Chains A and B, each alone.
Chain A
């Protein structure tokens, strides 16, 4: 009996390990290419990290750097040259600006509305709530084209506003917060009113602190979605490098797949992808919770 169970366990691990290898394949390829020299990449040799021989890189010399500057180990060169060629910090900063602005405005709009829907009684409340439910059905990427037309008419294409404005209303956020506020006892709010707090103060000083766990999950949901979003930035940012978000940067690095060096290109892609992955590995539980939020009812 015991032996049989161990064999069963062994089979399961065997299947899962094969699955894990397939899943990790592109990650391996990405990291490996960002460390190796061009020759090693082209001959598919050198395993994960390559031989790391110090050498002079011809593309670097051609770009106008002295031979001395261009002599180093492949991994150093790939990452150094990636930062020389493209304003990577700028892309990352744009990513931060856009995702944070979106999240903050989403909360500013959604929190009071959710509070009103959950705890205040007023004429038309049911109607507003069913409006929220209806808007939940609208696929946001689906209405991208009319939104684009509207932004173009307003002359906002190629601005930060274009990246941020369409996302500042999150009906999902309203819905989520409303469900959460429903569970907050009325006594808490009544007590706050007795203390002479106004409704505004209640929203930000009483409700907000109780909603921190839900907000955190929503933050992860929102930030991950917009950090990774490529479709929308691709539509509204046409050429202005200063406004590139990380995915647009990635697209630019890939530009010359046939002519360019692959090492620095992959190094840039790794640099842009890593922050989120590291954050995920550190705070796994919260991330899984946040991203599968849409699974909550």
Chain B
């Protein structure tokens, strides 16, 4: 073929950069996590597993694991299911699908930090339109629907909505209250993520051959639900796997909304891992603890990705 040594010059920069920027930091984080090193210190000592010991036994870090797990477990399934539902609805529309697609994709595009602030005002207890919408609805249809009065077991005097109306419009302070903050942040996470999943599912849906539906109908699967079970869901297997993995990885990395809106509070209910790394290592200069959290964080993500690549991937391809 050719005898040039050009390939060395082509791959060398990439290899060097991969080693310095991506691989070396992995080891550096691992190394620092076994020391008491803080940025600016001249010396350090090896402390073994002390940092990890702190992490799994101190209340703060237990709360951190809880907050992260809650966030991931809530946001991933809901945003995936919403994405799938939206994709299927859009796919079955006769007209207007493109407009909805654009609207639902906007949150994916827009600067998340700006949107977090916009949500903060939208949900603000006195300035926000959400709480004023709720307050204006006391005693009306809104109360009936959103207070779940239509469910037979909900007492219309005792529902959260009715109680708030009775107590001088005492609606939740969404982001400032211990029992609502994490759910509100989850909601913003879902709001931001589902459009991305929708687009991936739309691509997945177009690749399902029409004949499969006809065949299913011949086999007696007449209702939409039966066809979904028999054709759509199995055919979307690879897409779903991919969507779940990528959403999980992105969800683990939540930072912007937490930093700007809750700072991990109230009482650490929204203290997710990325924010913990930032707060400990950068703001409080506890580099070694931050490194230990980093190692656990990377561990989670690597396990997840391996799980996708080598365990399930073989099983979902038909």
A→B interface (CB under 8 Å) = 9, 12-13, 15-16, 19-20, 22-30, 33, 41-42, 44, 109-110, 112-113, 115-117, 120-122, 128, 131-132, 135, 137-150, 152, 165-166, 168-169, 171, 174, 193, 198-200, 203, 224, 227-228, 230-231, 234-235, 246-247, 250-251, 254, 257, 262, 266, 269, 272-273, 276-277, 280-281, 284, 287-288, 291-292, 294-295, 297
Contacts and interface: CB of A to CB of B under 8 A. Distances in A.
B298 A250 contact: no
30 contacts: A16-B89, A23-B107, A23-B195, A26-B122, A27-B106, A27-B110, A29-B122, A44-B128, A109-B13, A116-B6, A141-B255, A145-B29, A146-B25, A148-B281, A149-B39, A150-B28, A166-B21, A169-B21, A247-B114, A250-B114, A250-B117, A251-B260, A254-B260, A262-B127, A277-B109, A281-B102, A284-B102, A295-B203, A295-B246, A297-B242
A93 to B, nearest CB: 16
Contacts of B199: 288, 292, 295
Given A139-B249, A146-B25, A273 B122 contact: no
Contacts of A234: 259, 278
B32 interface: yes
B316 interface: no
B121 interface: yes
A147 B39 CA distance: 12
Interface of B: 1-2, 4, 6-7, 9-11, 13-15, 17-18, 21-26, 28-29, 32, 39, 86, 89-90, 92-94, 96, 100-115, 117-122, 126-130, 132, 191, 195-196, 199-200, 203, 242, 246, 249, 252-253, 255-256, 259-260, 274, 277-278, 281-282, 287, 290-291, 294, 297-298, 301-302, 305-306
Contacts of A193: 2
Nearest to B239: A295
Contacts of B127: 41-42, 44, 262
Given A112-B10, A246-B111, A288-B101, 9 more contacts: A13-B93, A23-B103, A23-B107, A30-B118, A109-B14, A113-B11, A144-B294, A146-B29, A269-B118
Contacts of A41: 127
7 closest Cβ contacts across the A-B interface?
A: A199-B6, A26-B118, A146-B25, A112-B10, A169-B17, A113-B14, A116-B10
Contacts of B118: 26-27, 29-30, 266, 269
A110 B103 contact: no
Contacts of A150: 24-25, 28
Contacts of A203: 10
B207 to A, nearest CB: 12
B93 A9 contact: yes
A198 B6 CA distance: 9
Contact of A168 (B7, B21, B196): B21
Contacts of A280: 105-106, 109
A171 B306 CA distance: 17
Contacts of A147: 21, 25
A231 B203 CA distance: 30
A139 B298 contact: yes
